[in-house]
A and B are shown apart, each in its own frame.
Chain A
Amino acid sequence: MDSRTEIITVTVADGKQIKVEVTPIGSEEDVSNSIQSFEQVTGAIEGIAKSVLGTIERIKPKKAVVEFGLELATESGQLTALLVKGSGKANLKISLEWS
């Protein structure tokens, strides 16, 4: 993955603006200067969690622990979330217990 990063302005839920470090993916993009909404990232977190939960509910373990790491990126000028490797080798780590 491209190691270059950019600092961009993002609007969070209460309307405040924060600076966020992101990794640009791809290259060509329209070049207006946009203030991005953080909802694009929170939506991705919700989507990933719901997908994993669906599988866990079908196999019914007694306990489940899910870890995933996200990195923020911009693609064609839009803020997006990248599923990336965490502290271990996996980018999505799931532990299930039945006993």
Chain B
Amino acid sequence: MYENIDQLIEILKECTVRLKTTNESGTGFFIAPGTILTCAHVVKEAETLNVFWKDILYKGKVQSHLKSPLLDLATIGFVDSSPQNHPCVYTDKETTLSDDLYSYGYTDEYPNGDSVTFQFEGSYRDEFYQNLLKLKAGHVRPGLSGAPLLNLKTKAVCGIIKRTRDRSSDLGARAIPIETFFSQWSDILTKQKDFHRNDSRWTSLLTRENQLQDELNSSNNFNSSIIRKMVSESLTDRELNDLCFDEFPRVYDQFSEGMAKAAKIQILIEFCSRQRDFPKLINFIKVANPNNFARYRNSLKNLD
């Protein structure tokens, strides 16, 4: 079912590091060259810490730290020497109900590394924890905080393990979605994309579907007339209103009573062009009308 998954898991393991401060230990992973991502509660107030990659000790330095109940994320760089030729994770926020997920980290019972699998059960959002992914059917022990959460369907890391739902059983866990990190550190996503353009260890294992999606998400050169046509054919006037109300409120605010569907689409296209939001619009059409999306997908981008 999951092509190349064993190789992918080996690369994911290579992306992970064991972190140790005076009183805490946990897991982190290479999100970009020379940059480790983990949970802020793993590093707490520490400024430097021990980073073990492939059993070799490196001195790490906390670069930025967002220890609020809302985010609980930290990035770590290196003091003096840093690991050479390490891979980096490939990320994608997509997670849908019942997706199979995998994580790997350094726990109290298995400090040399242990695997855990889950199923995605849904998202949870409140004022305190913002948005967390809820995972079931996996046993999470202390030490797994900061471990990468791999979606076996998309073959991409979609989150960071934060909480166990019960350390003594396989009740599951909660994870911070990867887009929460990139909403604060968008420059690191650019570094990660640059890395994967030059290092194919992870991307060579992606399916053609993954690669096409990645091209769409990273492109800035879209064919607006084709997208206009695809939106027009894919959505009714009411569906267009609903989409804009939910996802593009600044576009919806410009709609007026009796406005023609074509005029609304034009406002939407101009907005997406200005805001570089075509990937978001295209992904909604992909879900709303997969057949139409498949018909147009090869002509959505202009030739570079």
Contact = CB atoms under 8 A, between A and B. Distances in A.
Interface size class of A (residues with CB under 8 A): 10 to 19
B24 interface: yes
A24 B141 CA distance: 13
A34 B24 contact: yes
A96 interface: no
A31 B166 contact: no
Contacts of A32: 24-26, 39, 41-42, 142-143, 145-146
A28 B165 contact: yes
Contacts of A33: 24-26, 107-108, 142-143
Interface in B130-179: 140-146, 161-168, 171, 173-174
Given A32-B41, A32-B143, 16 more contacts: A6-B167, A28-B163, A28-B164, A28-B174, A29-B164, A30-B72, A31-B26, A31-B143, A31-B161, A31-B162, A32-B24, A32-B25, A32-B26, A33-B108, A33-B143, A35-B24
B23 interface: yes
A4 interface: yes
Given A4-B168, A24-B168, A34-B24, A29 B143 contact: no
A88 to B, nearest CB: 30
Contacts of B142: 31-34, 77
Nearest to A27: B166
Interface string A22-59: 00100111111111000000000000000000000000
Contacts of B174: 28
A30 B163 contact: yes
Nearest to B141: A31
